[in-house]
């Protein structure tokens, strides 16, 4: 808006400089209108110009140009466009006057969100650019207009032309470029652009988050891990979801212990059931059995369905007596529980109970595993009886 106000001022000042081509009558009316406008009496200034009667085409174009400025200052943008369109279309304004008028008209269309019309005049401005002017500002407006029209390929092209110049403002054009690349499904190009945006705004978490997402999308999970890890190291406040994704990436890169630690540092990590399950799972992946058991024990207090997970790990680690009471709390899985108890009782050398559980498992859900246990335990029982008879 500041740039646009400056342009309006330039347009007004250049218009009010008395031209040798203006008739004395018209020059006088312009001066009168200018005095009113300086006191912010824009409507009266407009009336003075509207009532200016002249038969000279150049005077009419010149008056329309100045009237457009007053209409804009009075908040009547549509009337400003009408007057400036007349002035520009006349072809009577020359050199700097013509360029500044076309620029104001393009900006007015942009203000009114008439992007196609704005583009028509912006492209004309590029062609008629005075030698002492830079094109970069116009090219940025062109990129903005194409963006609003969702003409993504044109956005990319316009931004590249803009960045060709040694410009200070790179944030906005690169943001436009990123949006266009995402819309065009160009993840590799977007990754490059995000790297440039992070250099400009290293504290903006959105860039880091988008970069890691795109890296995962193209299968570069190691780089995604590095991106989120560096964001955290730089002190950015990663969200709960960001850190869960970070934990998942640690796990996929074969660092489950770091994944478990990451989850354990989240809010509600010691009470939220999903977070507890994730921690326990990662500790198991890291073969940190005691840590996993500890977390599973917390999980079962919230949701008894995880007694099965706890029981299996207790059995694996040889906590047979403790596992029996946990297995008793498992809901459903009756055949699976019976088979688990078969193994536990066998390890505790309680063969009768083991055989009983194996037979129960076979009744509930016949399986080769249950049959195998029954055969094995029956043979042990027979051998034990023969041994007792022999003695």
Q: Which residue, among 66, 61, 55, has the nearest Cα to 15 in the 3D structure?
A: 66
- With H, G, I as helix, E, B as strand and everything else as coil, classify residue 184: coil
- Among 37-41, 43-47, 336-340, name the most confident range: 336-340
Nearest 10 degrees: Cα torsion 265, 210, 214, 228: -30
| Highest-pLDDT range among 22-36, 60-74, 197-211 | 197-211
Q: What's the pLDDT score for residue 129?
A: 75
Residue 132: predicted pLDDT: 54
Mean pLDDT of 311-320: 96
Lowest mean pLDDT among 161-170, 219-228, 288-297: 161-170
Which string of DSSP letters, residue by residue, matches 46-78? HHHHHT-----HHHHHHHHHHHHHHHHHTT-HH
**Residue pair 69/15 in contact by the 8 Å Cβ criterion:** yes
Cα-to-chain-centroid distance, residue 383: 69
Looking at the predicted structure, is the pLDDT value of residue 109 above 70? yes
The answer on pLDDT for 335 being more than 90 is yes
Cα 171 from chain centre = 16
User: Distance between CA atoms of 216 and 223, rounded to whole angstroms?
Assistant: 8
Interior/surface letters 273-282, b for 16+ CB within 10 angstroms, e for the rest: bebbbbbbbb
Query: Rounded to whole angstroms, how far apart are CA atoms 193 and 61?
Result: 45
More confident call, 73 vs 8: 73
As a whole number of Å, the CA-based R_g of the chain is 39
Is the model's pLDDT at 18 over the cut of 80? Answer: no
Cα–Cα distance measured from residue 323 to residue 330, given in angstroms and rounded to the nearest whole number: 11
How much is the mean pLDDT over the chain? Answer: 89
Q: Assign 134 a pLDDT band (cuts: 50, 70, 90).
A: low
Q: Quickly count: other Cβ atoms within 10 Å of residue 27's Cβ.
A: 17
**Does 384 have pLDDT greater than 90?**
no
> pLDDT confidence of 6, banded at 50, 70, 90?
very low
Q: What is the pLDDT of residue 5?
A: 41
State the pLDDT at residue 208: 98
Residue corresponding to tokens 């005077």: 59
Spatial CB neighbours of 379, under 8 Å, sequence gap ≥ 6? none
Judged against a pLDDT cut of 90, whether residue 385 lies above it is answered with no
Residues 139-195 pLDDT 10s: 999 999 999 999 999 999 999 999 988 778 899 999 999 999 999 999 999 999 999
Contact present, 49 and 65 (Cβ < 8 Å): no
Q: Which of 34-38, 118-122, 340-344 has the lowest mean pLDDT?
A: 34-38
pLDDT band at 8 (very low <50, low <70, confident <90, very high): very low
Of the candidates 85, 147, 140, 139, the one whose C-alpha atom is nearest the C-alpha of residue 115 is: 147
373 pLDDT band (50/70/90 cuts)?
very high
pLDDT tens digits, one per residue of 227-280: 999 999 999 999 999 999 999 999 999 999 999 999 999 999 999 999 999 999
Looking at the domain 1-147, which fold is it? 1.25.40
Task: Tally Cβ neighbours within 10 Å of residue 219.
Answer: 9
**Which whole number is the average pLDDT over 50-56?**
88
Place of tokens 């457009």: 68
The whole-number average pLDDT for the span 5-33 is: 65
C-alpha torsion sign, points 39, 13, 70, 29 = positive
Q: What's the start-to-end Cα distance of the chain, in Å? A: 106
Q: Is residue 300's pLDDT more than 80?
A: yes
Q: What is the reported pLDDT for 7?
A: 42
Q: In the structure, what pLDDT confidence band is assigned to residue 131 with cuts at 50, 70 and 90?
A: low
* Cα–Cα distance for residue pair 142/152, rounded to 1 Å: 12
Three-state SS across 97-164? Answer: HHHHHHHHHHHHHHHCCCHHHHHHHHHHHHHCCCCCCCCHHHHHHHHHHHHHCCCHHHHHHHHHHHHC
Question: How far is CA 356 from each of CA 32, 336, 359, rounded to the nearest angstrom?
Answer: 112, 14, 5
pTM above 0.85, yes or no: no
CB 142 within 8 A of CB 158: yes
């Amino acid at each position: 808006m500041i740039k646009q106000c400056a342009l309006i001022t330039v347009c007004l000042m250049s218009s009010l400089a008395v031209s040798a081509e203006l008739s004395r009558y018209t020059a006088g009316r312009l001066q009168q209108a200018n005095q009113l406008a300086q006191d912010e009496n824009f409507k009266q200034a407009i009336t003075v110009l509207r009532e200016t009667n002249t038969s000279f085409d150049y005077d009419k174009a010149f008056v329309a140009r100045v009237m457009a400025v007053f209409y804009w200052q009075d908040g009547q943008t549509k009337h400003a466009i009408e007057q400036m369109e007349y002035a520009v279309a006349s072809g009577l304004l020359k050199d700097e006057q013509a360029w500044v008028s076309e620029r104001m008209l393009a900006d007015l269309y942009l203000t009114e969100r008439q992007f196609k019309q704005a583009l028509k005049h912006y492209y004309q401005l590029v062609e008629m650019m005075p030698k002492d002017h830079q094109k970069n500002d116009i090219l940025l407006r062109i990129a903005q207009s194409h963006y609003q029209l969702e003409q993504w390929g044109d956005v990319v092209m316009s931004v590249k032309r803009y960045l060709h110049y040694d410009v200070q403002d790179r944030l906005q054009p690169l943001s436009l470029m990123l949006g266009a690349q995402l819309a065009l499904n160009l993840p590799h190009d977007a990754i490059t652009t995000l790297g440039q945006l992070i250099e400009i705004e290293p504290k903006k978490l959105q860039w880091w988050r988008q970069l890691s997402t795109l890296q995962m999308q193209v299968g570069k999970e190691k780089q995604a891990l590095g991106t989120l890890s560096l964001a955290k190291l730089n002190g950015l406040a990663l969200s709960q979801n960001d850190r869960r994704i970070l934990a998942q990436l640690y796990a996929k890169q074969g660092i489950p212990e770091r994944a478990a630690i990451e989850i354990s540092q989240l809010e509600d990590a010691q009470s939220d059931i999903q977070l507890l399950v994730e921690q326990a799972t990662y500790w198991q992946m890291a073969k940190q059995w005691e840590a996993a058991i500890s977390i599973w024990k917390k999980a079962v207090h919230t949701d008894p369905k995880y007694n099965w997970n706890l029981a299996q790990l207790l059995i694996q680690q040889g906590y047979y007596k403790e596992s029996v009471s946990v297995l008793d709390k498992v809901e459903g899985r009756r055949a699976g529980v019976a088979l688990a108890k078969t193994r536990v009782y066998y390890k505790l050398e309680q063969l009768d109970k083991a055989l009983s559980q194996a037979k129960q498992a076979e009744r509930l859900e016949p399986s080769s595993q249950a049959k195998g246990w029954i055969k094995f335990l029956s043979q042990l029982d027979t051998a034990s009886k023969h041994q007792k008879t022999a003695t």
